[in-house]
Amino acid sequence: MRKSLIMFMSVLLVLGLVVSVGGNEVMAQEEYRVAYIARAQGDSFAAWLANSIIEESNKYENIDLQVFDGQGSDAKQNSLIENAIVNEFDLIIIQPNNGEAQRPYAEKVVEAGIDLITTNARIDGIEGGSSVDADPYMQAAVVAEMALEQVPENANVVVLNGPPGNFHASERRKAWEAEFFAKRPDVTIVGEQIANWNKDEAMRYMEDWVQANDHIDAIISMNDNMAAGALEVVKGDPEYNDILSYGVDGTAEAVLLIKEGRMTATTLQSAYALAERILWVSDLLVTDKVMEIHTNIGNPVVTSENVEQYIEMHEKAGNL
Amino acid sequence: MKDLKLGDKFSRIKQKYGIFLVLILLFVVSSLINSNFLSVRNLTNISRQISITTILAFGETILIISGLLDLSNGSVLALAGLLSVSVFKMTGSLILAFIVAIVVAVFCNIINGIMVTKFETPPFIATLAMMAMARGAALLYTNGQNIYRIGDYTVFGQGSIGFVPTPIIFFILIGIVTWYILKHTRLGRSLYAIGGNEEAAVASGINVNRKKMLAYIVNGVFVGIAGVIFMSRVNAGLPNGAVGFEFEALTSSIIGGTSFSGGVGTAGGTVIGAFIVGFLNNIMNLVGVNSYVQQIIRGGIIALAVIYDTRTKKMRTKSQLGNVE
């Protein structure tokens, strides 16, 4: 009886050892805490990116992601970064509201010895910090190059801009200036306003421009939302059947408009591609495989010729 | 003596029709600056553009007259409109979608009313809280994404009856309802009394809290309708739509002579205020005024309207005191 008890205890001990060794192996896979500080969850692209990052992070068992909303405010975003530093996250990802306003706080992240990624748009020149982005200049430049060929001679165009101080808004506008307007002095800008990325604001401006001008040949918009708003105004008006319109983002609405033949082209700023790259870089950083890395995703142009694949992409993601 | 009477008369005319004269002046100047301004198409365009914020302004006027305020109407509009679009996509019923928008907006306004009347929260704070909650709920519901392919839902904002666009029809109908409530109902008279002097209103037997709650409910109905028109007009469910509409509505109401201190304001004045804002925005776009300059001009006009309101009020008090002496 005593012998059996000793045998039983020994088996338990061995089992315990096996389990604890196995457990140690499981524990050896360390879990890293990652803070993603989004620009504003109210911004449809930022929300798409945040959702994609959450989805992508589920593929990484070693990453525990928490998302914070900067609510489109520099002050709010800066305090969220400070909180994340105090809470000793292993990695902080910042999607800045305004790169220059967040720069000192991003530098604090590196100073605190925490890994840093800036994205959409990157904050340039932070030593020790990494970045993942799509080049906003190129995003607009690729559609501007198309417009060079497509916009008729002596055309009247309207321009819809993003919020002032926003890096992507200003870089895209710069690209249009250098790659299109500088090369096409025959084109006249008959209206240019800031519609803050918003569809309803763009609609209001377009309604007035349609009254003020005999004809508008093209809508040049720094994002798809505003282009869609402007197109809504001339929808069904036979005078504007041939209007050209260019955007950036490749939103679900834009790809549908391209399919319907109402929008000319957009550049896809794929939140999925960005999210995939961000998580890949995150994993490299937290596991110390690299110390600093800067990478860009591509800028595929969406036109009527290739739109089907992007509609499929949005349908898969549940955006349509 | 005769001069004084003439001066008095002029001052009364200025007080009563001043804002209307401003509208006429703006109309004439705009017509001279740009020939497109006066076209029927452009005037219809302006009316359609101001329809949503004016509907909100009617609700705001009712509230401000009774000493209340609503800063949440832009966010509640987005939430109500979004849920309405969603219900339409699920059921295909326009009537049900319309009802849902009104129910949601009224519900939010009942909460505003409870916070103000039961918990004695200042309307500014109560509706500021609702502004954040409603926007958060709208974003949460769609995960920050827009809703597309809304089909026949566009009839509310893009359709027309005869040659009159539907948003303008809603705008006129709600204007008439507001005028009727303020001018011809006991509720309207009570609201003026509450805004003019709440203690006196209590003393005269008015159930102040009940009337305030009713004012919020009426506002809720207007906000719900505005939500339907907005989403229909933009052909999408936008959780981040109508940002800043509360300030545009307030501007129209205040420029139209509604006094921030309560007890003063009319539906007609609000319409005039809305057209002043609409004409101004339109002419600035027609002649291509820079966005930043537009903001400065809009801000300046609000400041002038409030200064005018304060001065008129002082003059009125002075003349009343003079009469007493």
Span A180-233, pLDDT tens digits: 999 999 999 999 999 988 899 999 999 999 999 989 999 999 999 999 999 999
What is the Cα–Cα distance from B291 to B288, expressed in whole angstroms? Answer: 9
**Is the CB of residue B143 less than 8 Å from the CB of residue B153?**
no
Contact B34, A211 (CB under 8 A): no
Contact yes or no for A47 and B235 at CB 8 A: no
Taking CB atoms and an 8 Å limit, are B148 and A200 in contact across chains?
Answer: no
Task: Return all residues near A179 (Cβ < 8 A) that are at least 6 apart.
Answer: A140, A141, A144, A145, A148
- CATH code assigned at A188: 3.40.50.2300
Q: Is the pLDDT of residue B172 over 50?
A: yes
B241 CB contacts (<8 Å, ≥6 apart)? A198, A199, A200, B77, B78, B81, B230, B231, B234
pLDDT surpassing 80 at residue A141: yes
Least confident of A27-36, A118-127, A201-210, A222-231: A27-36
The C-alpha R_g of chain B, in whole angstroms, comes to 20
Is A190 part of any domain?
yes
Tokens (6 digits) for A246 = 């260019």
How many other CB atoms are there within 10 angstroms of residue A156's CB atom?
A: 18
pLDDT band at A122 (very low <50, low <70, confident <90, very high): confident
In a domain, A300, yes or no: no
Q: Rounded to an integer, what distance in angstroms lies between the CA atom of residue B230 and that of residue B241?
A: 8
Shortest Cα distance, chain B CAs vs residue A242, angstroms: 21
pLDDT over 80 at A6, yes or no: no
Extract the runs of DSSP E, i.e. beta strands, from B100-163: 160-161
* d(CA A109, nearest CA chain B) in Å: 28
- Chain B neighbors of A198, CB-CB under 8 A: 240-241, 243
Residue A118: inside a domain: yes
User: What CA–CA distance (Å, rounded) separates B82 from B228?
Assistant: 8
Nearest to B277 by CA among B62, B12, B56: B56
Question: Does some domain include residue A251?
Answer: yes
The model's confidence at residue A17, banded by pLDDT at 50, 70 and 90, is very low
Range with the poorest average pLDDT among A189-193, B199-203, B295-299, B310-314: B310-314
**Residues A143 and A244 grouped into a single domain:** yes
Q: Do A211 and B239 touch (CB under 8 A)?
A: no
Asked if B241 and A212 come within 8 Å (Cβ–Cβ), the reply is no
Report whether pLDDT(A18) > 50.
no
How many structural domains does chain A have?
Answer: 2
Query: What would the pLDDT profile of B271-294 be if each residue is shown by its tens digit?
Result: 999 999 999 999 998 888 888 898
> Are residues A166 and A80 part of one domain?
no
User: Cβ(A133)–Cβ(A121) under 8 Å?
Assistant: yes
Same domain, A194 and A225: yes
Task: Quote the percentage of chain B above a pLDDT of 90.
Answer: 72
Same domain for A85 and A71, yes or no, is yes
Average pLDDT of the residues of chain A: 89
Tens-digit pLDDT profile for residues B97-152: 999 999 999 999 999 999 999 999 999 999 999 999 999 999 999 888 889 889 99
Q: Kindly report the pTM of this predicted structure.
A: 0.82
Q: Quick check: B144 and A319 CB within 8 A?
A: no
Query: Same structural domain for residues A228 and A141?
Result: yes
- Is the predicted pLDDT of residue B264 greater than 80, yes or no? yes
The answer to whether residue A295 is domain-embedded is no
Q: Residue B323 pLDDT more than 90? A: no
Nearest to B314 by CA among B254, B255, B261: B261
Q: What pLDDT does A121 receive?
A: 83
**Is residue A19 scored above 50 in pLDDT?**
no
- The pLDDT of A101-118, averaged and rounded, is 94
Element (H, E) at A35: strand A32-38
What pLDDT score was predicted for residue A118? 96
Residue of A nearest to B40 (CA): A211
A240-295 pLDDT per residue, tens:
999 999 999 999 999 999 999 999 999 998 888 999 999 999 999 999 999 999 99
Which residue does chain A place closest to B143, by CA atoms?
A47
Question: How far is A110 from A90, CA to CA, in rounded Å?
Answer: 11
Average pLDDT over residues B22-41: 91
Q: For residue A4, what pLDDT is reported? A: 56
Residues A283 and A189 in one domain: no
**Testing the interface with A: which of B53, B54, B284, B291 to mutate, by most A Cβ within 10 A?**
B291
Chain B residues within 8 Å of chain A (Cβ atoms): 34, 36, 39, 41-42, 45, 48-49, 135, 139, 143-146, 148-149, 230, 233-236, 238-243, 281-282, 285-288, 291-292
The domain in which residue A102 lies consists of: 32-133+270-289
d(CA B26, CA B44): 17
What is the pLDDT at residue A66?
A: 93
Q: Is B32 a residue whose pLDDT tops 60?
A: yes
Residue A22's pLDDT band (cuts 50, 70, 90): very low
The verdict on a CB contact (< 8 Å) between A212 and B41 is no
The confidence score (pLDDT) of residue A50 equals 92
Q: Do B234 and A207 touch (CB under 8 A)?
A: no
CA nearest to A42, candidates A247, A196, A269, A167 = A196
Residue A24 lies in a domain: no
Note the pLDDT tens digit of each residue in B57-111.
999 999 999 999 999 999 999 999 999 999 999 999 999 999 999 999 999 999 9
Are residues A48 and B281, on separate chains, in Cβ contact within 8 Å? no
Neighbours of A4 (CB within 10 A): 8
Pairing of β A156-161 and β A130-133? unpaired
Q: Do A253 and B236 touch (CB under 8 A)?
A: yes
Residue/partner pairs of B175-184 with CB below 8 Å, 24 or more apart: B175/B54, B175/B58, B175/B267, B175/B270, B175/B271, B177/B58, B178/B58, B178/B61, B178/B62, B178/B267, B178/B270, B179/B266, B179/B267, B179/B268, B181/B62, B181/B218, B182/B61, B182/B62, B182/B65, B182/B265, B182/B266, B182/B267, B183/B266, B183/B267
Using a CB–CB cutoff of 8 Å, tell me whether A212 touches chain B: yes
Residue of A nearest to B294 (CA): A193
Residue A203 to residue B282, Cβ atoms within 8 A: no
**Is residue A100 located within the same domain as residue A159?**
no
For chain A, what percent of residues have pLDDT higher than 70?
91
Residue of A nearest to B41 (CA): A211
**Residue A202 domain-assigned (yes or no):** yes
- Asked if pLDDT for residue A320 goes beyond 70, the answer is yes
- Please check whether residue A164 lies inside any domain of the structure: yes
Task: List the single range of A26-35, A40-49, A51-60, B213-222 with lowest mean pLDDT.
Answer: A26-35
Query: Under CATH, to which class is B48-324 assigned?
Result: mainly alpha
At A21 the pLDDT is 44
